Structure formats: structure tokens, C-alpha cells
Structure 1
Amino acid sequence: MNRSTPLRRTKTSAALAGLAILSVALLTACGTTSAGNGGSTGAKAPTKLGTNEGAVSILAWPGYVEDGSNDPAVDWVSAFQDETGCKVTSKTYGTSDEAFNLMKTGDYDLVAASGDASLRLVAAGDVAPVNTDLIPNYAGVYDFLKLQAWNSVDGVSYGVPHGYGANLLMYKTDAVTPAPTSWNVVFDKSSAYKGKVTAYDSPIYIADAAMYLMSHQPDLGIKNPYALDEKQLAAAVDLLKVQRPNIGEYWSDYLKSIQAFETGDTVVGTTWQVIRNSLAPGTKAEVVVPSEGVTGWSDTWMVGSKAKNPNCAYAWLNYISSPKANAQATEYFGEAPSNQKACDFMSNPDQCSLFHAGDADYASKIWYWTTPIATCVDGRTDVKCTDYAAWTTAWQEIKG
């Protein structure tokens, strides 16, 4: 990914936030639906594939479906079309809430969903279980990305992993000393950098506070930062309200985050590896995985439950998870690939080492975005957890 690449996770508008609260309300009642019936639509995974239909409609983050129209040198769609005969039409979206609402139209065969949307899509019945036996390249996907809480239900896959990354701690080495090893510099000790602390602008950021509390207030009993009962959510919200006066700016546009670190308007806070890589030469900034761990994302290609072109959709799932195509897409965006052999096809020989591709130990430190739902994803059955609607309301209160 370079500076001209469109941002995939932009700020959620107030209107979309309102829609999110309404549309996610069903999660409170149903939690995750049974994988056997594929959500409220009863969609099933196919047992075999037929002839490609000649077309496929894809909903994705910017930079995930490139056909050369944005940059002639960046094109992995044309090869797919030539290989399969499936003509691609695509639409990009800016937030997970937007993707969730667009999938309700039934106009898309596929969606590239982050973990803060995937379980919502399953519960709403907008995506179907996926038969990974019909996707030969699935075998090459790193095992630590398969059948996880954000891409499966009851041991049944709901998609194919695309790429993954961590929400790291970045700091200006000439302003933050000693070098931080804990997230306490943006929480308990953030007042030392008042007005120059940054954080990611999304309700899912509540999980970062919950992760911090797991280590610093173990009596709360938080085992998974995406599984918070009312008391645990309240504690995370209180921590973020204390942090709020010290925040200079919440970021969602990575270009603005880059600029803020370059100018010194921001000296410490949440970042992505691609932001650190994009800083102007000479910028005194480093990234670290703090002792408490990190949150992050692992995006999933999911098939719409009302897909009009399911055979071409499966052809895309197989193609985009192949070593070469997966390398092209994840290198362009700026994240680790999901295919074990993708590193052999990277144009930048340092790409995989920069993003810790295939490093299972590094990946184990990441709490991947997972949609908060009423059915606690940490396995608790004696309490109801707070859902994404509650988190959205809380986030609005935090920001004021």
C-alpha cells in the first residue's frame, strides 16, 4: 500500500452509526445463529460446484479488488477474469457498518468483511457457510487463521481468510521516553502527553481498553476483550472517558495519522505497521507490541446468502487465496498475507518480515476484531454479554 491507496476504514458517520444500532439489535436476541442453517435465511454451503455463470459482484475494502483502472501496474482482477470467464463488478465501502447494510440488499455475491462485521453478517443471515473442500487453495492458508471466532460458527467456516494485521503502539522517540513497553502511556499515564495522544476512531476500540484491563484489573474477570458483560463494559468505558481529555485526535484516515506523527502533533498512540512504513524518512518514530498484547484484524472473504453467481464466487475465493493473487492484494494494501507461499511472490523482499507473515507466535499476541454479541464469545453461558449496539452507544458517550 502506498500513500495514494484509498483508506478502507474511514470514520463512521452519525447516520451510519444510527443504522448500525438498529440493524445489530437482532444480535441481542439470536447471538450467533447455528452454522447448520446459515443464519435466518437457512442458506447452505454447496456440496459441489457447477458451471461458472460469467459474472461476479464483489463488495470490498478499497485496494482489495484492483483491475488496473486506479493504477495500470496494479491488477489482479484481469487474470482472474481471463482464467475463469467471470466478469468482475465491484463496489468499495468505507466502514464495516456500511458493508453490513449494503449486504442486506442481496446485490453482492461476495464481501470482504472485517471481524467487527462478520458475525453480524452471519447472525443476520446475509452470508452463507462455506464449503472449504471446494476451495483448493484454502489448504495453503495459515492454520492459525482458520476456523476462528470471527470467521466460523460452531466449527463451520463462513469464509476464507484474506490478510491480517495488528493495531500497534507507535511513539515518537524524541518525545516519549523511556521507550514504552505498555499501553499505559495512552491510558493511565496519558496525561503526560495531553493533546498529543491518538486512538482509532471506532466502537471496536473499546476492545483495546478491555485488553488493557485484562492485565491491570484482573479482578474484572475479562478473558476476551470482545466478550464484555455490563460491568466489564462499564469499566472499559470509564477508562476511555479518563483518556478522552488527553486525545488530540481520533484517527480513521491513515494519511492524517501519518501527517500527525510527522509534524509532531501526535507523539503516541494506536497505529498500523503500514503507517510506520509510510512515514517520511528521518521521522523519529518506532512501533512496539506492548506487554498487554494488541488488537488487530483478520479479514474474511464471505459468500452472500443470496448470491446470484455462487460458482463464480467460489472461483474468486480460490483465486484470491492463491499465493500470487494473495501476495499482490495484501502487499498493495499493506498487511500480512494469509497464504503460506504468498511471500515467494512479493515484489518487496522485506514485505513479509515487516508484517510478521506466518509468525504464529506474533499472531498469537493479536486479539483479532470479533463482533461483540449477546452470546459471549469467551464461552460464558451464565451471563449475557454486551453487543455491538451497546458498544456503539458507549462510543458516542465516550467521544461526547
Structure 2
Amino acid sequence: MRVFRPLAALATAALLLTAACSSSAHQGSTAQGFSPPKIQMQQTLGQGEGTVNIVAWAGYVEYGQDNKSVDWVTPFTQQTGCKVNVKVAGTSDEMVALMKTGQYDTVSASGDATLRLIAGGDAAPVNTGLVPNYATIYPSLKMQPWNSVDGVAYGIPHGRGANLLMYNTDKVSPAPTSWSAVFDTHSPYAGHLTAYDDPIYLADAALYLMKTQPALGIRNPYALTPAQLAQAVALLKTQKKSISSYWNDYTKAQASFDSGDYWLGTTWEVIQQAVAADGKVKTAAILPAEGATGWSDTWMVSAHAQHPNCAYEWMNYIVSPSVNAQVAEYFGEAPANSQACSSIKDNPNFCTDYHAADESWWRNVYYWNTPTRSCVDGSGKDDCTDYAQWVTAWNEIKS
């Protein structure tokens, strides 16, 4: 899962993104406000090189290391002849740094890393015609601002999830329907609130302000002017007074809800499912009236890939219906392949629980994107705050 590093590392990565976007800005403007370096797209698929080096989230590349029955790597190697070497990354920043070394062929990047990889010249455009299983990926995940630039695909969607509002049903009454429950300046649940520990959480505050204070002019929670960012910072500083603790490790969040320390706050679907299975407390998780932030992960090919053919073989395999179903169920997220649900084995209600095909539900989820000076809201303006400024702001909130 997404377990983040200290903020010093985040600041370093943020400066890398700022420099990358600044250096490419003279090349022209796209919907994201920058043009990536010119990197050739692979046109044909050749013989596999025998190896593929992967950077991935824990749980995405399983070869029986933790559970012998959980292994989709061995069948891949048997089918393709490509031996898998995987480096598990704990943070998006670690993924960006690893991909910059040129030692890895493909990465399962979240939206808060993808634009950094593209702008920095570390991700190559992806020829979706060489990935047959791309055809059955949910259309709503294709060619999005975090996985494409100016109509060119830079990755293959893998899975998605939302940052929901979870609450202890015995402690929180009435049942919340809005994020106002965690932003209430006089919260009756002070000392038992929790929130996600990362600069990207500023987008959660921005989304709430966008929906409740339209006069602020926020069009996209990842495209904030300095004045809008200051409003989000002020909201989170006020919220901090009621926070028990922040979380960035889902197992710790689960344990804190189980123990009764957390009553109300940000969660992932997999956390709520785990707490429900533990049975120690009664909880519910909702998509609030304002919507929520979330993630859509993307398999990307390194611009420096030494094994590009095996990388393409891997991307096609990992998003195939049966394998995508295995990963989604093991990891705890909605699959990206529209045919994956027919291959779910353990929980017949899995795809319903995770809203896999409920596009009306996902329309209210604002997937992570990387803030850049050139606004990512499609306005063409260059007056937005970038990721480095968000890191500084988060340091200020947490200090």
C-alpha cells in the first residue's frame, strides 16, 4: 500500500517535478500545461528479452513470497519467458527516484507520480495497440489527465480506489453525509478524528472548499492558486486541532479504528472491509455529498527500458481479466478491466463492494493528479501552485 516517506524526501521529489516542468514549458502547452520531452513510442513488439525489471506497490507483483497460493508471476514467466525482478516501493517519490536510475522497465505509478515521470522524460509514450487487453479497460480510465498528455497515452490503467469517509457507527451520530463532519471547527469528535498523512491531502480540503464555497473559484482540487492553497491550508490547520493522529500505513489505520482511537476520518475501502472482518467495532464508509479524492494506478514504460518487449508483455498480462481480478481482490481495489469481475473467486460481492462498474459512483471521485504551476484544470493558466509548494504547505500544517 501507499506508505509515505518523511517530508524531506517529498520536498526533493517536488523540486524535481518543478524543474522538469519548467524545462519543458518552452516546448509548448498541453491540457496539463507542459509538453513532455520527445521520446519515441515503440511501434512493434519483438522477441522478449528474458527479463523485466519492475517497480510496483506491495501486492501488485506476487510470486508466492508471502502466500504460496498467491502467485501470478510464475504463470507469466512460463507463458512469456520473461523473468520478473520486482522492487517494491513504499512511496510515489521512491518510484520516481527509482525510475530515474534507468534500471527499471515498468512501474505501477499513481496519479501523484505520473506527471513527474512524464515531465522528467522518464516515461515513454505507450503504444496501446501493442496491449490487446487495453481494449476491455473501462473507457473512463483511458486517456485521462494523469495517464496521457495531449492525446498521447503514457500508460495502461491498472486499478482504482477512493478516499472515503469512515465512521464508528456506535460513536458518531447522526450518520455523516458530508466532509463537514471532519472539518467542523467545533467537532464533538475532537481527539478521535484522523486524516491521510501526505501533501496530496490538501486536495481533500480543496475539494470540500470547491463544493461548499464556490466563490473561491476552485475548478479542480489539484489546480490551486496561491490564494486558494492558503484557504486549504487554513482549513487543515483548524482541523489539526481535532486530529488524534494522521495515518499513511493502512494497517495502522485499521488497528486504530479497531482499538476505538479513531471514530471518524479518511479511509480506503480495503480498510473498512478489514475492520468489518475483524468485528471489534461497527463502522461504515461513505462517499460524501461533495465526492472524494482517489487514485487510478497506471502501468508505465520507462523511457530508458532495457527490456521493453517484456515490459509490454507484462502490461498486457497484468491487466488481463483473470490476472487483474486476482490483483484487485488481493490488493483491495476496483479492477480496471471491465471483464475482470467474472473471474473474481473468493468474494462474490467484491465488484459490488468496490463499485467496479458503477460509473455514476466514480464520477464523483477526483483521481490524484500532480499539481503544477501550469494549472491542470485545462484552463491554460499558469498561476497555480506546484507540488513543491504543496509540500511546503503540508510541512507548515504539520509543524
Q: TM-score range by the shorter chain?
A: over 0.9
Aligned to 1:199: 195
5+ unaligned residues in a row in structure 2: which ranges?
A: none
* CA root-mean-square deviation: 1.6
TM-score, with structure 1 as normaliser: 0.95
Deviation (angstroms), 1:130? 0.3
Deviation (angstroms), 1:44? 1.3
Identity %: 54
Question: Would the aligned equivalents of 1:184 and 1:190 in 2 still touch at CA under 8 Å?
Answer: no
Deviation (angstroms), 1:31? 6.7
Equivalent runs, 1:114-125 vs 2, <5 Å: 114-125=110-121
Aligned to 1:137: 133
5+ unaligned residues in a row in structure 1: which ranges?
A: 1-7
Aligned to 1:185: 181
Deviation (angstroms), 1:30? 4.7
Deviation (angstroms), 1:282? 5.0
Aligned to 1:386: 385
Runs of 4+ in 1 over 4 A off after TM superposition: 30-35
Instruction: Tell me whether 378-387 or 327-336 shows the greater mean CA deviation.
Output: 378-387
Deviation (angstroms), 1:203? 0.4
Tell me how far apart the structure 2 counterparts of residues 272 and 189 of structure 1 sit (CA, whole Å).
24
Question: Would the aligned equivalents of 1:38 and 1:129 in 2 still touch at CA under 8 Å?
Answer: no
Q: Does 1:297 align with 2:272?
A: no
Aligned to 1:39: 36
Tell me how far apart the structure 1 counterparts of residues 321 and 86 of structure 2 sit (CA, whole Å).
22
**Of 50, 61, 67, which aligns to 2:63?**
67
Q: Which amino acid in 2 is paired with 1:113?
A: A
Tell me how far apart the structure 2 counterparts of residues 152 and 317 of structure 1 sit (CA, whole Å).
16
Equivalent runs, 1:1-400 vs 2, <5 Å: 8-30=1-23, 39-40=36-37, 42-189=38-185, 191-279=187-275, 280-347=278-345, 348-400=347-399
Question: Would the aligned equivalents of 2:161 and 2:333 in 1 still touch at CA under 8 Å?
Answer: yes
Q: Which amino acid in 1 is paired with 2:109?
A: A
Tell me how far apart the structure 2 counterparts of residues 30 and 365 of structure 1 sit (CA, whole Å).
34
Tell me how far apart the structure 2 counterparts of residues 152 and 381 of structure 1 sit (CA, whole Å).
17
Query: CA distance change for structure 1 residues 138 and 179 in 2, over 3 Å: closer, same or farther?
Result: same
**Residue 163 of structure 2: SS of its match in structure 1?**
strand
Tell me how far apart the structure 1 counterparts of residues 186 and 316 of structure 2 sit (CA, whole Å).
46
Question: Would the aligned equivalents of 1:199 and 1:250 in 2 still touch at CA under 8 Å?
Answer: yes
Deviation (angstroms), 1:275? 0.5
- Matched residues, number: 391
Q: Which amino acid in 2 is paired with 1:39?
A: P
Question: Would the aligned equivalents of 2:21 and 2:119 in 1 still touch at CA under 8 Å?
Answer: no
Deviation (angstroms), 1:15? 3.7
Tell me how far apart the structure 2 counterparts of residues 30 and 185 of structure 1 sit (CA, whole Å).
42
Tell me how far apart the structure 2 counterparts of residues 245 and 292 of structure 1 sit (CA, whole Å).
23
Deviation (angstroms), 1:383? 4.0
Question: Would the aligned equivalents of 1:28 and 1:387 in 2 still touch at CA under 8 Å?
Answer: no
Tell me how far apart the structure 2 counterparts of residues 137 and 377 of structure 1 sit (CA, whole Å).
29
What does the per-residue CA deviation read over 1:58-82, in whole Å, with 9 as the maximum and x for residues that have no partner? 0000010001122101000111101
Deviation (angstroms), 1:381? 2.5
Query: CA distance change for structure 1 residues 190 and 276 in 2, over 3 Å: closer, same or farther?
Result: farther
What does the per-residue CA deviation read over 1:281-336, in whole Å, with 9 as the maximum and x for residues that have no partner? 25211011110001000000000000001111110111111001101111110000
Deviation (angstroms), 1:190? 5.7
Q: Which amino acid in 2 is paired with 1:18?
A: A
TM-score, with structure 2 as normaliser: 0.95
Deviation (angstroms), 1:351? 1.0
